[in-house]
Every structure is written in structure tokens, then in C-alpha cells.
Amino acid sequence: MKHCLVVDDSSVIRKVARRILEDLSFAISEAEDGQQALESCRQQMPDAILLDWNMPVMDGLEFLAQLRKLDGGEAPKVVFCTTENDVGHIAKAIRAGANEYIMKPFDREIVEAKFQEVGLI
């Protein structure tokens, strides 16, 4: 079973994402900000990370930069999932090493399509 880390400061979003990803047969762990996510990755590197941008303590972009420097941190497929919906943000995320990008609001079909896109399903 593939493991996906869901990183979002909203517990509602985490719950929605968990439900969708569990249906797609992922094992889920959650983090509320970039810092928590980084710790989780240090303990166990996930196969996939669904990543919010704006979060307290450490934001998604900063987390991504740190993650890619970690041992094995190149491996996880990172899919941003954020309300930052403009070309500037998208381009920045891709340059920083994100594999895909979901613009909120999202639904089951979009998550599935994007995870397929990066070869996770």
C-alpha cells in the first residue's frame, strides 16, 4: 500500500483529502504545517505528499525546498493543493520541485487525475 502524507492546516481539508485518497488505496498520515511534515518525512519517507501552500510555522514552498535536500527527499511525488491559483505561484512551485499542482477547490476526480498524472495510480 502506498503512503501519502497530507499536509494542510485545515482539518476539514485533511479529512476530505484523506477520504478521497483512502478510496484510492493510500495509507494516510497527516501534518498541520511544513515543520510537522518535515519531521514526519525524516521518520518515514512517504510515496506521495499532498501539500498546502499557506500554513503557519512553515509554509509549503519552504517545506518542499527542505524536503528535496533530505536524504531520500527526491523520491516522494509532491502535489501542491492550494488556493494560490495564479500562474506565478504554479511556476514557482514547479521550479522548486513540485510534480503536480491542484488549484482549490478540488474534487475526487481532480485528485485522481493528478495522482495518475505523476504515476502514483
Partner 1 sequence: MSPAEYDFLRQFLKARSGLVLSNEKQYLIESRLLPVARKAGLASIAALVSKLRDPREAQLADAVVEAMTTNESFFFRDKVPFDHFTQLMLPQLLERRAAKRHLRIWCAAASTGQEPYSLAMCLKEMGPRLAGWRVEILGTDISNEVLDRARAGVYTQFEVQRGLPIQNLLKYFTQSGDQWTISAELRSMVQWRKFNLLESFAGLGQFDIVFCRNVLIYFDQPTKADIINRIGKLLAPDGYMVLGAAETVVGLSEAFKPVPDRRGLYAPNLVAAGGAAPIAGVRVAGLGGF
| Integer Cα distance of 45 and 53 in angstroms | 20
In whole angstroms, how close is the CB of 67 to partner 1 at the nearest point? 18
Q: Binding residue for partner 1 (CB under 8 A) from 27, 57, 75, 91?
A: 91
Q: Which is nearer to partner 1, 65 or 94 (CB)?
A: 94
In whole angstroms, how close is the CB of 112 to partner 1 at the nearest point? 9
119 binds partner 1, rule: CB under 8 A: no
Tell me the DSSP string of the chain: -EEEEEE-S-HHHHHHHHHHHHHTTEEEEEESSHHHHHHHHHHS--SEEEE-S--SSS-HHHHHHHHHHSTTTTSSEEEEEES--SHHHHHHHHHTT-SEEEESS--HHHHHHHHHHTT--
In whole angstroms, how close is the CB of 64 to partner 1 at the nearest point? 14
97 to 116: interface string for partner 1, x by CB under 8 A: ---xxxx--xx-xx--xx-x
In whole angstroms, how close is the CB of 110 to partner 1 at the nearest point? 5
Footprint on this chain of partner 1 (rule: CB under 8 A): 85-87, 90-91, 94, 100-103, 106-107, 109-110, 113-114, 116-117
